[in-house]
Chain A
Amino acid sequence: MKETGKKYRSREVNYNEIPAYIRRRPYYIIAPGMLILIGILIPFITAIILSFTNYSFRLPQFKFVGLRNWTGMITSPEFWHALSVTLRYGFFATLTQMLLGMGVALLLKKDTKYSRILKVAFTFPLMVAPAIAVLIWQLMTSNTVGVLEKVLNIFGIYNFPWAASHETAMFTAVLIDTWVNTPFVLLLILAGIQSLPKSPFEAAAVDGAGAWFTFKTLTFPMLKPFMYIALLFRLMAALQEFGIIYALSKGGPGNTLMNISLTGYINGFTYQKLAGALPYLLVLWLIINKAAGFLVKRQRHLAKQAAGE
């Protein structure tokens, strides 16, 4: 559809011939939306400037302190810990969701009544807010009222610590994240599966190709563009996850789950060292932006490849 539009324009429209008031029309049309969004860009610039000052809610005045906040961040072990938590959380949450989502999507491939009902039902957790998802899992995992405790008791495990222990806090947070977001990956990949062309698979079946061979050489490569989109959305969100971790344990126990988002929030609000917190968040922004740029590029390349160009 887009292609026909382009052709029509190149044939009919010469930019020098149309009057300026028509040429400017698209800018007028997008102006209201842009104004609303750009109003929000100002804070971004403010953030960069303030990261070179000693701004705090407690001080009435602030002055420029050069790179002190930045060097302070790089030399503090807190930052490296936060970075490691951010990357680990992003890795584990995204990997689990991608694998699980892919697996279940393949199971849902066959169109039966059961799979059609499940497909609708699987969208429910996706609608749940992160903070509410944490509450729902508190009901599941509570050692006094939770049903999981009773299930684990059957296997002889008592008082599983979940978010309260250093060892299992990350697991619990990733579990909740997985519960909410696996359906997202699942739906995207399922849409990809349903859009696959029939003929290559028929040809493979005629040639007597096995199931694994077909998956490896046909299904998987053709699904790659869809997986990249899912990966892009999930990884970007997991790297900056705030809601689930904050609602679950506020980054605890100790500093076990203090990723960059939470460290920035605690430093900026609880300790009121706003200028000191901003470099953390700018680094996070940089990481996310670079990762997103890379994934978008790869995705486009793969989509073109899949389209046979």
Chain B
Amino acid sequence: MTAKPKIVVGLGTCGIAAGGREVYKAIEKALTDNSIDAELTQTGCIGACENEVLVDIVKPGQPRISYGKVTEEKIGEVITNHLLNDKIDREFALGKIGEGELPAEYDDLPNFFVDLPFYEKQVRLCLRNCGFINPEVIDEYVERDGYEALKKVITEMKPEEVVDVVKKSGLRGRGGGGFSTGLKWEFTMKAVGDKKYVVCNADEGDPGAFMDRSILEGDPHSVMEGMAIAGYAVGADEGYVYCRAEYPLAVKRLKLAIEQAKEKNLLGENIMGTDFSFDLKVKEGAGAFVCGEETALLMSIEGKRGMPRPRPPFPANEGLFAKPTCLNNVETFANVPVVILDGPDKFASIGTEGSKGTKVFALTGSINRTGLAEVPMGITLKEVVFDVAGGIIDDGKFKAVQAGGPSGGCIPEDLLHLPIDYDSLTGAGAMMGSGGLVVMGEDTCMVDIARYFLTFTQSESCGKCTPCREGTKRMLEILQRIVAGEGEPEDIEKLKTLGEAIKDTALCGLGQTAPNPVLTTLRYFQDEYEKHIFDKRCVAGICVDLMVYLIDAELCNGCGRCRKACPVGAVSGEKKELHTIDTETCIKCGVCVEKCKQEAISLQS
């Protein structure tokens, strides 16, 4: 227990974006102005991104109090009230964490991880330290059993035993593929090579996904420790973290963590005085989505253009610089110390028959609680969308959830009972993917969503194989025509045939899964495609080309603002008389809607 009060500011990218740095400065000022002796520190994302900026205050002997949505202006008051007057500001207080006594009037304060609906169903293994430790201070990681798993492994276990433990735990790759981590390690361990590598895939690129970033920003050492354990198990003495350069904070904290770990002999030569040496480097990716594909990633580290190559040979046998390479994703590695310390049985007791442990999801879209949630495998999509994420905003109606990013698929309401595990999601035409969950309400057009994801995959296709390079382009062109009201009856069949051919013949995972958003929306929402094609209607009111601007005769007062603002002279009407829009002339710029004070103009399908 700290002798003096401690103030912790959430300074992950989400916290910083919400104004965390300004809040931090305001706290510094408040402490100085009021001559308060307190320790001010930072932490990574605790997951409740919608509540950023988050500030936690710990007074000796009291539980940690978490404040959310604090502002630069108000934080000074919150701090002084809490530290000087023992008054907790209920406007900002989210809940209490940990043991300790509070004045009786605060007995009703919710227990942060137990009572808050966002956390109620979460099980935090990977994110165990995120939001608690200062990721830039190695001692805080060490204090929470950091590097104990590595110590146990290199001093008490043989490499084969480590592989067995990981196999027994049932841990599967969290990057999306879901291959058994233990088996992968075993293949690399058994591969013959004078030099072996461990590589961490931190090239998280799915739109809406930020699990890996949050882990690297909030708890870089857990990933590094997992990698070092893998290094010991497979016989590697060198590792690379391939992190996208668009994650500058993650890169910075990772580099700092590596430096600190080396100083403490937790990385480098003869770790903890043993014969085991393991060095770690960070390689920044230059922004190609395809470099998240493992063979392309390895090419990129080698300094070549990141393009997938056929497998076999698999990286376990011929990976980085043609040497046996153990390649896992950030979240997978972050799970490893837990598997070692808690033991494989405890880890395997969480989850389902085929999918063990937890999965971190980035919750985004039209939901009440966006953020990062770690839930046990086997939980249903419904629980995640409605219990954890709090359902659709403004009491809207749920329409679909896109699981697995551009490689995944849209899952409709009647499949929300599906348990979250690798096999169920694949069966529904989606995939676990890396963990992005984009929740969509009734106001989302499924054709437009398919078009969006395909625009992404087409522009990120590496260009090597024909079906991905040419096929996704033609699918995209068809979708663009449909949303523009130029769809033709045979388009649906064309999309299906082409989508299946691309899935069947593309070279890598990017291409093979690129048609998924189109195929799943066709599978579950074909009626929307038909409405676009046959009725030229977009029921969600998204596809502007299928809509017309109309003036409500009841509301229009004939002020003429719209007529004057219209750049193409599509609005006509006498002063103080009802105005009308000539839909043929209208270019749908929407300026009339902005100008109308009566809210009389709207898009109608």
| Chains A and B bind each other | no
A interface residues (Cβ-Cβ under 8 A, vs B): none
